[in-house]
Every structure is written in structure tokens, then in C-alpha cells.
Amino acid sequence: MPRILLLNDTEKPLGELRDALQAGGHEVLVATGTRALLKAVEEQQPDVVIVDVDSPSRDTLEQLALIDRHAPRPVVVFSADADEQLIRAALGAGVTAYIVDGLAPARLAPIIQVALARFEQQSHLRRRLDEVQQKLQDRKLIDQAKGLLMDKRGMGEAEAYAALRRQAMQQNLKLADVARRIIAMAELLG
């Protein structure tokens, strides 16, 4: 069962929600106040963060965005506020599921499962995007290094690429790393 970090940013008691989560077999951790939410996530290492609020405050959304950047977790927000801009802001801050219309204990388990599945899907897409961006950046470096070799050494494109590959194999480096070294050397020599 996922460990749940429970937070509210109002004076509303958490008892009913905490009891429902514990009855569902979850270990419930409680965070007090939104200002130290990232610290609480880093220290307690929950699997899911649940925020129970009337309407998420700007401070809460900022803390959720920090969590999304520095300690990503599935985040479920239970709110009474159905404002479309607020929902979009919450999703932009990394909220996985924004639930309006109250809290029914019987709905908790499926909501948490959906949040976990959606978070995993988003994480996969982020990793894939990072990989593609890195490949694109590597490709740009390789093209820049080929251009330098073609310009400075009078090589053709195929010959410059072959020289980069040969150097990478000899030094047991990635092609992009050899390209970085060539570019750095060219900048050093002017």
C-alpha cells in the first residue's frame, strides 16, 4: 500500500480523511502547513501526496510546483473549488488528480490508483522527452564539431564524421563527448 502524506492548508480537520486512508491499509503521514511541504516530502518519502483544501492557495500551488521539480510524486488535491483557471494552475504545478465534489471514503482507493498510474505515465513521458532532448543536443554538438573539422582541416562531411567516430572509439568515449572536446579546443585556440 502506498504511503500517503496528508496535508490541508486550512483549519479543516483531517480526521475523516486520515481514518478512511488508514482503514484502507495506508500508512498516513501528516504535514502541517504548506510552507515546509517540500521538506516534509523529502524527509518522509511518501508515495503519494494528498492535499485537502477548500481552494488551493498560491503558496500551496508554489509548494506543489517545487515538489514536482525536486521530488516528483503523485499529488491528489481534494477541493471544493471548481474554478477552471485554478484547476489548470494546479495541473501546471504538477497535481496528478484534482477532485471536486467532496470526499467519499469509498472513492479513495480508485482515486489513488489512478493518480499513481497517471504519475507513472507522466514520468515515462518526461524521461522520454529528456532522452530525445539529449539526443538532439548531442546531434547539434556532433554537427558543430564536424563543421569545425571540415572548416579547419578541409575534410568532407563523411570524412569528418569518420574522424569523430574513430576518435570516440580510440578513447572509449561517446561521440558527443568527443564533439564537446573538439568544440572546447577550438574555442580555446580561437
Look up the CATH number of the domain holding residue 20.
3.40.50.2300
Is residue 167 situated within a structural domain? yes
Select from 144, 146, 142 the least CA-distant residue to 155.
146
Strands annotated E in 56-119: 75-79, 97-100
Do 83 and 140 belong to one domain?
no
State the average pLDDT over residues 37-50: 90
**CATH for 177:** 1.10.10.10
Is residue 122 situated within a structural domain? no
Is residue 120 situated within a structural domain? no
Do 17 and 97 belong to one domain?
yes
Do 96 and 136 belong to one domain?
no
pLDDT of res. 36? 77
Please, which residues bridge with residue 79 across strands?
A: 53, 100
Q: Name the 3-class secondary structure at 163.
A: helix
Band the pLDDT of 115: cuts 50, 70, 90: very high
Question: Does the pLDDT value for residue 9 go beyond 70?
Answer: no
Question: Does the pLDDT value for residue 13 go beyond 70?
Answer: no
Do 32 and 90 belong to one domain?
yes
Do 65 and 9 belong to one domain?
yes
Is residue 109 situated within a structural domain? no
Is residue 43 situated within a structural domain? yes
Question: Does the pLDDT value for residue 10 go beyond 70?
Answer: no
Is residue 63 situated within a structural domain? yes
Q: Is 55 exposed, middle or buried (0-12, 13-18, 19+ CB in 10 A)?
A: middle
- Could you read off the pLDDT of 133-181 as tens digits, one per residue? 999 999 999 999 999 999 999 999 999 999 999 999 999 999 999 999 9
Q: Find the domain containing 160 and state its range.
A: 129-189
- Could you read off the pLDDT of 55-93 as tens digits, one per residue? 888 888 999 999 999 999 999 998 888 999 999 999 999
Band the pLDDT of 107: cuts 50, 70, 90: confident
Q: pTM for this structure?
A: 0.72
